[in-house]
Amino acid sequence: MELSLLSRLRGLGYKAIPLLLIPGIAGFLLLRNCSRPEEIVVKRGDVTESVYGLATVRANRIFNLRLGVPAKIRKIHVNQGDEVSVGGPLIEFDELASVRSPIRGVVTTLNYHVDEITTPQLSVLTVMDFGDRHLVVSLEEQGALKIRRGQKARVSFEGLRDVKLECSVRGIYPEDGQFQVRVQCEDLPQQILPGMTADVLIEVAHKSNVLVLPVTAMTENKVKRRRGSDFKEVEVKSGSRSEEIVEIISGDLQEGDRVTLPRH
């Protein structure tokens, strides 16, 4: 019976370690197979730190018609969605001169009908140039502090993940309690319209040949380090980081050390 029990336990992945033998009774300490903690070797490498945000597409050129006085509409030459050229007729009034489009674009809003009287300073109609667009990314202060003009940006649109765009930061400014980053892209696809959203990754730092670790190797700025027979937990200071890699700028850690990855 004892041999049968031992065989079944071994089949379940247990090791049997004999402690003592008493006539007719065998005492065993049953231990499950345990793999050793995973270790990685500390090396030098490159790390690119990025700031992430959600961007909205905006038109660079917009004509928004507002009047300073009430006026009765005599004739409307366009509908929403119509394309207009420079100088194309838009709307006519009884008391005022007819209005023509100063830009090439698409009529996106039309707020009145023929024979209605406009309200001063309220928008009558809007024309947007869909061929001249930029993106605006809203960031919190911590991310905005790292933004500089000329930094590279990677932009991706839902449904167009295979499209690779060359983009860069053109400026940063405050607006309504947020910090807005203006991103310009070359050759935005024609189907991308103002108001659409995109994921944006802005590269704020790139460092080469620095000491790096996986982000998962650190727990509250501490790592478990093994150097030869010396094994201890050491505190380190981190620098630039990506989603997966972090730069180590100080601490008792050097190239060739081994670091234990925490179990998850």
CATH ID of 51-59+131-206, from 3.30.70.360, 2.40.50.100, 2.40.30.170, 2.60.40.1080: 2.40.30.170
What's the predicted TM-score (pTM) here?
0.71
Domain spans, the chain? 2-32, 39-47+210-260, 51-59+131-206, 62-128
Q: How much is the mean pLDDT over the chain?
A: 86
The arrangement of secondary structure in 39-47+210-260, i.e. its CATH architecture, is: Beta Barrel (2.40)
The DSSP string of the chain is -HHHHHHHHHHTTEEEEEEEEETTEEEEEEEE--PPPPEEE-EEEEEEEEEEEEEEEEES-EEEEE-SS--BEEEE---TT-EE-TT-EEEEESSS--EE-SS-EEEEEE---TT-BPPTTSEEEEEE-TTSEEEEEEE-HHHHTT--TT-EEEEE-TT-TT----EEEEEEEEETTEEEEEEEESS--TT--TT-EEEEEEEEEEEEEEEEEEGGG-BTTEEEEEETTEEEEEEEEEEEE-SSEEEEEEES--TT-EEEPPP-
Which CATH class, in words, describes the domain spanning 62-128?
mainly beta
Report, as ranges of residue numbers, the positions in the chain whose pLDDT lies below 50. Answer: 1-3, 5-6, 9, 12, 14-33
pLDDT of residue 36: 67
pLDDT of residue 163: 83
pLDDT of residue 241: 84
